[in-house]
Amino acid sequence: MKRLFTILLVVAAGTTFAQQRSLVELRDGWMYSADSGMVTGAFMTIVNRSNQPDTIVAAKADCAEHAEIHTTIRNSDGTMGMRPIGELIVPAQQTVVLKPRSLHVMLYGLRRSLRPGDRCILSLETKHSGTLRIDLRVRR
Amino acid sequence: MSWRTYAATVVLGLLVGCSSDAPPASSPLRATDGRTYDFPADLRGKVVVASFIYTHCPDICRMTIGHLLDLWERVGGDTNVVFATVTLDPARDTIAALHQYAEVWGLPTERWLLLTGTIADVERVLSAFGVVARKSYTERLPSGEEVYFIDHTDAVFLLDRDGIVRDRREGSSLDVADYARLVQRYAAQR
């Protein structure tokens, strides 16, 4: 009886967790190492399993003074650069990958030196799914 | 930069990209090994892998440095090869900043020189290699600090022992295995 109760409790907890889990998820977060005060880029995969598009409207990180979404561009003269984008739309049932030479979260003014193996928590504010968090793993 | 200067830089870049037989003009730059080099002339006799980055660059330059570190693991043991990384941003990238950058990335600075200099000298080196660098936009942080970014050429150059540019390609998308074979080929030539 005690065992049955435990199983039921675990199943109920799992169901509740699944219901609460957002249909928009952040995965595989990482960022480049950098010194205190510097800028660096953060990358991840955003999965939208819902039937409506969602939009990332703001970014925040516990290791940085300021964060925003950027994209890398190639100018007509061949030079490379990057620009901030106000919002990032994640279409319904689609995955958006933030990766080097492409979309990334720019972290400004690091509050501490971050070396490979360190962690930083990034929050992305969405229009429809609340605030999504991911643990960024620092790598070279 | 006027359109005439810009056009001249682009044309020069194309010429360098086509492997001119004249070495790029040199200018004095300070390096992380404490010496001042007439760059790149003072490195003649070595095969030089020359790259251009700035320490506040969060994406393209990091890709380039990452590839070059992988390249170093393949060719860095050859004392005929030197890596030289010149800043695109001499106003912020002092020798101290370059030392810090080398430490973060674990760059072997004994034969991997990070170079900076006066704005005029760095601009002359960039122009000699056909590298373009211009401030793009500035972000004002909540603290009031302003951080600017640079639009720049994404290129790595291979100079033979005579200082002549033999190859130019994108650094951020470098095929390390292929490039290592090229570096080894020039290093083996006498």
Residue B66, classed as helix, strand or coil, is helix
**Per the CB < 8 Å rule, is A101 touching B60?**
yes
Mean pLDDT calculated for residue range A118-133: 97
> pLDDT at position B137, please?
87
**Per the CB < 8 Å rule, is B150 touching A77?**
no
**Per the CB < 8 Å rule, is A80 touching B137?**
no
Greater confidence, A21 or A4? A21
Which residues of chain B are modeled with pLDDT < 50? 1-18
pLDDT in tens, B111-156: 899 999 999 999 999 999 999 999 998 999 988 999 999 999 999 9
> pLDDT at position B39, please?
98
Q: What beta strand segments (E) does B41-132 contain?
A: 47-53, 81-87, 112-116
Among B59, B68, B98, which would you mutate to test the A interface (most chain A Cβ atoms within 10 Å of its Cβ)? B59
φ and ψ at B61, to 5 degrees?
-65, -35
A82: nearest CA partner in chain B: B151
CA A124 to chain centroid = 6
Check if the beta carbon of residue B63 is closer than 8 Å to that of residue B171: yes
Name residues 5-64 of chain A within 8 A of B (Cβ): 32-35, 38-41
CA A31 to chain centroid = 10
Interface TM-score (ipTM) > 0.85? no
Domain ranges of chain A: 23-139
Distance from CA of B116 to the nearest CA of A (A): 19
Domain ranges of chain B: 3-17+28-188
Q: Which of B60, B137, B150 sits opposite A72 (nearest CB)?
A: B60
* Superfamily name and number for A23-139: PCu(A)C copper chaperone (2.60.40.1890)
Measured between CB atoms, does B153 come within 8 Å of chain A? yes
Average pLDDT, chain A: 89
Measured between CB atoms, does B26 come within 8 Å of chain A? no
- To which H or E segment does residue A10 belong? helix A2-20
* Burial class of B161 by CB neighbour count within 10 A (0 to 12, 13 to 18, 19+): middle
Least confident of A6-10, A65-69, A127-131, B134-138: A6-10
Mean pLDDT calculated for residue range A60-89: 96
Measured between CB atoms, does A112 come within 8 Å of chain B? no
pLDDT in tens, A75-119: 999 999 999 998 999 999 999 999 999 999 999 999 999 999 999
Q: Whole-angstrom Cα distance, residue A66 to residue A26?
A: 19
> pLDDT at position A21, please?
62
> pLDDT at position A3, please?
59
Per-residue pLDDT at A71 exceeds 70: yes
> pLDDT at position A12, please?
47
Q: Which fold has domain B3-17+28-188?
A: Glutaredoxin (3.40.30)
Among A35, A74, A82, which would you mutate to test the B interface (most chain B Cβ atoms within 10 Å of its Cβ)? A82
Q: Which residues of chain A neighbour B100 with C-beta distances below 8 Å?
A: 35
**Per the CB < 8 Å rule, is A38 touching B154?**
no
**Per the CB < 8 Å rule, is A80 touching B149?**
no
Among B52, B99, B104, B170, which would you mutate to test the A interface (most chain A Cβ atoms within 10 Å of its Cβ)? B104
